Structure 1
Amino acid sequence: MITPLWALPNALWIALGLTVQLAAVSTLLLLLIVLPVGWWLATTRNRIALPLEIVMSLPLVLPPTVIGFYLLVLLSPEHAFGHWWQTQFGHALPFSFGGLVIGSFVYSLPFALQPVLAAFRMLRPEIAQAAYSLGMTRRQAFIHIFLPLSKAGVYSGAILAFAHTIGEFGVVLMLGGGIPGVTRVASIALYDETQKLNYPDAHGFALLLLLLSFVLLCATTALQKRQERWRQTGYFSAR
């Protein structure tokens, strides 16, 4: 038996709302960092670029519990940043919404970075040369030319980061626990219902998350196909 979506308990909807809020905040912060850093990685010849890209991609292969553990340690009041935060804001980062945002940012970083980086790297070098020959600064060329041409990759990175945050479990469990209305996100709520053997509500909620993930994946696929069509227009290199 599956509980219909309209009959799901209010606590599950609160958990879903908190998850969407967390995903939105994390995705916005990721884009603010990923866009300039991704452009720099795609265009620089600095030796530090490759090690930096590898470090930023580590969450792809690290177990979520490892990330959650080290973030829990680093953000605790016993360490410099955690102590500064508690002094400034009056509460610790672990087991708070702010802590979840930091954890989601770190864990979803490569999912936002890789599509953006790939889109920037496909741009033909001649476009940059033409922009600079017309008197544009690097900032003007980035905002008015390179970013619009790479928007499919930017949108894909944003959607992937958003979807990945919705599905997080290990990091949020280690860093936030399951405080209702504060850190009890959708994945934790589903786990709790399963632990209570409340399978009807768990089925209904899991179906809701499945449908949401399917819609986001469809959007990402459509954007990737659109970028592939743009690649054939000549703005992108064949590499």
Structure 2
Amino acid sequence: MLLSDGDWQALRITLQLAGLSTALLLLIGLPLAAWRVRRETVLRKVLDAVLAMPLVLPPTVLGFYLLVAFAPDTPLGSAWSWLTGHQLAFSFSGLLLGSIIYSLPFVVQPLTVAFRNIPPSVLEAAASLGAGRWERWWRVILPLLRRGLLVAGTLGFAHTLGEFGVVLMLGGGIPGQTQVVSIALFQHVEALRYAEAHRLAAWMLCLSFILLLLVYGMRDPRGQSTSHPAL
């Protein structure tokens, strides 16, 4: 089960990408989810449709449009090059931005559900006791969102691990820079190196199973359906 140096490098880049993406996704997804649970507006419906696009678009289509948007001659690409001196496409930064866009629905949705499960009476009681908006956030809302944050973070991390189409279009699979596990696995199979592909796939299979166990282990028992032994 030992991996080659190249595969270890791909695994390191994958875990780094997933970890950074998850942290930024939680920072972005928290205010988005809070805004989504407010009153129904046309703008919210538009936002919901935009957030759901990565769920229905083929990853290669999304990756292609992101690649076009990140090109050096576009406003975004030229601004990034001016600020950092590096192009956004075919870089780790480009992979990170693409991963955030691609995995955003998988983080926002669990957070939205968690916000909706907070009883309004709890917030009203905190306000009646003199708690300000930020104090309600730190002392009431965030503790009640703990389970939702864990589920959203785990789902975002796991979804980033399995990306293929988006990272292939944006990163190109450059060894040591943008080659993640899914790209390395594809290249092993393409080159008929099945033994290396088996080892790398086994690592990802075990890691994905552990992450799914964490997600199901963090489910709220109050939200689970009643078992029916007779069935």
Q: What TM bracket, shorter-length normalisation?
A: over 0.9
Q: Secondary structure at the match of 1:99?
A: helix
Alpha-carbon distance in structure 2 between the residues aligned to 1:66 and 1:213: 25
Unaligned runs of 5+ in 2: 225-231
Aligned residue identity for 2:86: H
- Deviation string, structure 1 residues 111-155 (Cα, Å, up to 9, x no partner): 011111111111111112112112222222122211211211111
Whole-angstrom distance in 1 between the partners of 2:222 and 2:89? 39
Superposed, 1:61-80 pairs within 5 Å as 61-80=56-75
Q: Return 5+ residue gaps in structure 1 as ranges.
A: 230-239
For normalisation by structure 1, the TM-score amounts to 0.90
Moved over 2 A (4+): 43-47, 225-229
**Counterpart amino acid of 1:96?**
S
- How far is 1:226 from its partner? 4.8
RMSD (Å), alpha carbons: 1.3
Cross-structure match for 1:215: 210
**Residue correspondences, number:** 224
CA distance in 2, matches of 1:13, 1:174: 22
Which structure 2 residues correspond to residues 40-55 of structure 1 after superposition, within 5 A? 40-55=35-50
Which of 192, 195, 200 is 1:197 aligned to?
A: 192
Does the residue aligned with 2:73 lie in a helix, a strand or coil? coil
Give per-residue Cα distances to partners, 1:186-210, cap 9 Å, x unaligned: 0000001001100011011101100
The equivalent residue for 1:33 is 28
Match of 1:112 among 97, 107, 111: 107
1:45 to partner: Cα distance: 4.1
What is the aligned partner in structure 2 of residue 123 from structure 1?
118
Identity in percent: 47
| 2:87 counterpart letter in structure 1 | A
| Structure-2 separation of matches of 1:17 and 1:114 | 28
Match of 1:155 among 150, 153, 172: 150
**TM-score, normalisation: structure 2:** 0.93
- Using the alignment, how far apart are the partners of 1:226 and 1:154 within structure 2? 16
Contact 1:193 1:201 (8 Å CA) reproduced = yes
Q: Following TM superposition, by how much is the alpha carbon of 1:212 offset from its aligned partner in structure 2, in angstroms?
A: 0.2
- 1:57 correspondence with 2:52: yes
Find the aligned partners of 2:76 and 2:45 in 1 and give their Cα distance.
Answer: 27
State whether residues 152 and 226 of structure 1, in contact with CA within 8 Å, keep that contact through their aligned partners in structure 2.
no
Give the deviation of 1:225 after TM superposition: 3.6
Question: Displacement, 1:91?
Answer: 1.2
Match of 1:171 among 160, 166, 170: 166
* Amino acid in structure 1 at the alignment position of 2:141: F
